[in-house]
């Protein structure tokens, strides 16, 4: 079996080339990254939170009009919307769970424990939809969503 080498993808190289410095992450971006679960990379087809943090921490020249910089900025904004919407997912899930706990206050603890996991799980779906609407992810173009989903690392495929 041939050895596999993980290398930066093309978009990561372009981002590194176009960046002019470091950008500070906002509060909601930081907490959204904290709310993301760890990822096990098998095919390197998605971005983990470390890759998202590196994309969000790059700064681009606002007066640069090249197409590559525009693509990098669009990707950064799309990833930012995705990360901020994570806050709404967890907040809605915990809020719905708290309201369920409060509404079952006159019942014994067994009835609460039966309902809470299902309400929490349903709250993640409601929160995901709510976060997409509030952050504007539901109105973004397919191009932006595609740019945000591009992986930061890929396996090296050498020519045979």
Q: What is the pLDDT of residues 47-75, one digit of tens each?
A: 999 999 999 999 999 999 999 999 999 99
Residue 1 predicted with pLDDT over 70: no
The closest alpha carbon to 68, from 112, 17, 123, 23, belongs to 17
User: What rounded mean pLDDT belongs to the chain?
Assistant: 91
Residue 3 predicted with pLDDT over 80: no
pTM: 0.88
The closest alpha carbon to 151, from 6, 38, 4, belongs to 6
Give pLDDT tens digits for 90-108: 999 999 999 999 998 888 8
Q: How far apart are the first and last CA of the chain?
A: 14
The neighbouring-strand residues paired with 21 are: 59
Going 94 to 100 to 102 to 106, the CA torsion angle's sign is: negative
Dist CA 20 CA 61 (whole Å): 6
Give the model's confidence band at 44: pLDDT under 50 very low, under 70 low, under 90 confident, else very high. confident
Give pLDDT tens digits for 110-123: 888 899 999 999 99
């Amino acid at each position: 079996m041939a050895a596999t080498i993980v290398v930066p993808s093309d978009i990561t190289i372009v981002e590194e080339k176009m960046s002019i410095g470091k950008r500070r992450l906002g509060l909601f971006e930081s907490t959204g990254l904290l709310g993301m679960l760890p990822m096990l990379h098998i095919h390197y087809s998605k971005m983990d939170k470390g890759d998202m943090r590196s994309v969000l921490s790059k700064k681009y020249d606002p007066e640069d009009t090249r197409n590559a910089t525009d693509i990098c900025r669009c990707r950064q904004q799309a990833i930012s919307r995705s990360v901020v919407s994570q806050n709404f997912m967890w907040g809605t899930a915990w809020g719905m769970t708290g309201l369920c706990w409060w509404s079952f206050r006159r019942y014994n603890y067994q009835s609460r424990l039966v309902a809470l996991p299902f309400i929490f799980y349903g709250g993640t779906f409601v929160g995901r939809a709510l976060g997409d609407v509030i952050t504007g992810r539901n109105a973004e173009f397919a191009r932006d969503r595609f740019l945000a989903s591009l992986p930061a690392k890929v396996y090296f495929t050498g020519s045979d």
